[in-house]
Structure 1
């Protein structure tokens, strides 16, 4: 009897140059396609702009079996904290992890990180879901000594029930009545929803992106606060259009009196949608624009096959009005 040839061992190498990393984008995207927990936050169209614009220096572990790419751990050294390594995109990213198509990749990647322990003093792994393979490998000590392992935040998720056809089948009776009232009022006021997607021309995407940024900042300025986009314009101007072109992001808007007066950026991956950030012109506040817009997003994307609507980090009360339930995100801090 002939024995089957042994599979090549896992081999970890490093990419510390963002331009060299960009050359891996096609393989990286294919790896994400094969990884069941990947989201747009792990895609090259998001991570590479983060490395270029957010003060993060690439420290990326590439794991291969033979010539096949089987895993990627996108890390970065923070320019503001020399010696601190973190998952690339930490800050604006709401879900992070190793990207893998095999079980042992997280261990191999963290062992490679441990081999460079003279170059870092602390490894910060944030926004890890409870079932994360990277979390399990970190807890097993493959990178070093775990000094912090705790819940960092929650990400409320609305699960669209099997057989549900409209929001009335999903929401509480009281919130469903409120949503119907707000949608009827918006229709009377000629407030019309629209979406910029992958097949739209660049001009439509650019208009929607500018409006999204302006509406988010206007909403927070009305509260005397800067909002979440401060210092991130260059990053988002590169990442968002790239994800829209790939069909992994959509810019949803309400048009009122000719202008895009309310906006939401929605990220998409398989049957998952992440409602990233929204905003509106304060002059439209009495029309409950984000209620109307979220209702439109959820109902229309459910018809497209989305089943998990992730409101992303933060326990703001409005998320629970939609029936969302918490998904815990953890952080691990490791010393060599």
Structure 2
């Protein structure tokens, strides 16, 4: 068998040459999500790349791409030290994608993860590897940790995020039967009372104008609740303007609004990719909040997606209670870290473990001091998950 050809891209000017073969490999991998498409990765690098250095590892056999590590090197301050950290492209800014991974031809994860890590070990200019938002169910995870151990990187794994999702049945009526009686009845009542219409962005409209409407709704909701909202950041808005236009060209973009009296009072922005809807961002007019426009729109979007044959509604990161009125399952993502084998590596790895314990204690304390859910809601949620 011919030995694989390994290339490491450290020059940003070489990144555009990957268009085409990257998505072909992604489709042959078990890691195929919208956040690993070349359109998403290159848009991130165009907007945020000036502050980082690419470290993209490619493995080819007979000219065909069979494995890739979409990584960057970014300077961080940890424990009072300046650390050059290897991370997935896409992390470290407000964009916040989920389900990042090494991209490896399905069935060859164990073999090719070793090749990728071997190449990274030989690369100069980094001190620590920190791969966040890695799916806990990824077939890459165990080979990755084994390869890190072999490379003396002392891997340390911890839970990163919880991502609720809803498996969509064939009809809206079937889904309604899976909802609790009270929630189903109240949702129907809110729809009737609001009397609003679902309006989609379509190819004849400006993507930027539709996204601007969504951003206004999102900012209004966030600022009224005392939070800033990410669309106030010029780079965040620039990223989504570019990516939304590219997603529209690919047929992935899903922008929907709730209209009443001729104006949008709520909006949802996401992507339909490989049968899954990724619910990325939303917003509503705070002056219409008493009529629950956000909840009404969410139900109408779910009903619409069922009609389009979409198989899953992925709420993405965050176990907020309103998601579990609908979601019937959740996935965890992980963070896998390791220090390069140097004199400082072992003590710094120990500090990582102590910091992780501190985070767990703070989360548990926050959970203990948070106002409890009503007992009836807890019973209903437990019953739904027990039968899922």
Relative to structure 1, the CA distance from residue 144 to residue 51 in structure 2 (aligned partners, 3 Å threshold; closer, same or farther) is farther
Q: Give 1:164 deviation, angstroms.
A: 6.5
Q: Give 1:165 deviation, angstroms.
A: 4.6
Aligned equivalent of 1:15: 9
Query: 1:120-152, CA deviations, whole angstroms, 9 ceiling, x for partnerless residues?
Result: 111110111112233223310335423431111
Relative to structure 1, the CA distance from residue 233 to residue 17 in structure 2 (aligned partners, 3 Å threshold; closer, same or farther) is farther
CA contact (8 A) 1:96 1:126 kept: yes
Distance, in Å, in 2 between the alignment partners of 1:23 and 1:257 is 49
Aligned equivalent of 1:108: 115
CA contact (8 A) 2:28 2:105 kept: yes
Between 1 and 2, higher relative CO (CA 8 Å, sep ≥ 6) is seen in: 1
Q: 1:173 aligns with which of 171, 175, 181?
A: 181
- Give the alignment of 1:132-281 within 5 angstroms: 132-142=138-148, 144-161=152-169, 165-187=173-195, 191-197=196-202, 200-203=203-206, 205-229=207-231, 230=233, 231-281=235-285
Aligned equivalent of 1:37: 31
Relative to structure 1, the CA distance from residue 79 to residue 161 in structure 2 (aligned partners, 3 Å threshold; closer, same or farther) is same
Task: Report the secondary structure of 2:267's partner residue.
Answer: strand
Query: 1:68-96, CA deviations, whole angstroms, 9 ceiling, x for partnerless residues?
Result: 11222110112556511100001421120
Aligned equivalent of 1:74: 70
Q: Give 1:312 deviation, angstroms.
A: 0.5
Aligned equivalent of 1:84: 85
Q: Give 1:183 deviation, angstroms.
A: 1.7
Q: 2:335 aligns with which of 320, 331, 334?
A: 331
TM-score when scaled to structure 1? Answer: 0.89
CA contact (8 A) 2:258 2:266 kept: yes
Aligned equivalent of 2:351: none
Q: Give 1:259 deviation, angstroms.
A: 2.8
Relative to structure 1, the CA distance from residue 302 to residue 139 in structure 2 (aligned partners, 3 Å threshold; closer, same or farther) is same
Query: 1:200-255, CA deviations, whole angstroms, 9 ceiling, x for partnerless residues?
Result: 1352x222111111211111100121123434122222112211221222112112
Distance, in Å, in 1 between the alignment partners of 2:286 and 2:161 is 28
Q: Give 1:105 deviation, angstroms.
A: 3.0
Relative to structure 1, the CA distance from residue 283 to residue 67 in structure 2 (aligned partners, 3 Å threshold; closer, same or farther) is same
Distance, in Å, in 1 between the alignment partners of 2:145 and 2:272 is 30
Which one has a bigger Cα radius of gyration?
A: 2
Moved more, 257-266 or 325-334: 257-266
Q: Give 1:60 deviation, angstroms.
A: 1.0
Distance, in Å, in 2 between the alignment partners of 1:160 and 1:273 is 10
TM-score when scaled to structure 2? Answer: 0.77
Aligned equivalent of 2:323: 319
CA contact (8 A) 2:166 2:313 kept: yes
Q: Cα RMSD over matched residues? A: 2.1
Which is richer in helix? 2
Q: 1:26 aligns with which of 14, 20, 25?
A: 20
Q: 1:53 aligns with which of 47, 50, 72?
A: 47
CA contact (8 A) 1:156 1:324 kept: yes
CA contact (8 A) 2:277 2:313 kept: yes
Query: 1:265-284, CA deviations, whole angstroms, 9 ceiling, x for partnerless residues?
Result: 12222121111111111112
Q: Give 1:329 deviation, angstroms.
A: 0.8
Distance, in Å, in 1 between the alignment partners of 2:76 and 2:46 is 14
CA contact (8 A) 1:15 1:60 kept: yes
Aligned equivalent of 1:3: none
Q: Give 1:288 deviation, angstroms.
A: 1.1
Which sections of structure 2, spanning at least 5 residues, go unmatched? 78-82, 341-388
Task: Report the secondary structure of 2:295's partner residue.
Answer: helix
The alignment covers a number of residue pairs equal to 323
Which sections of structure 1, spanning at least 5 residues, go unmatched? 1-5
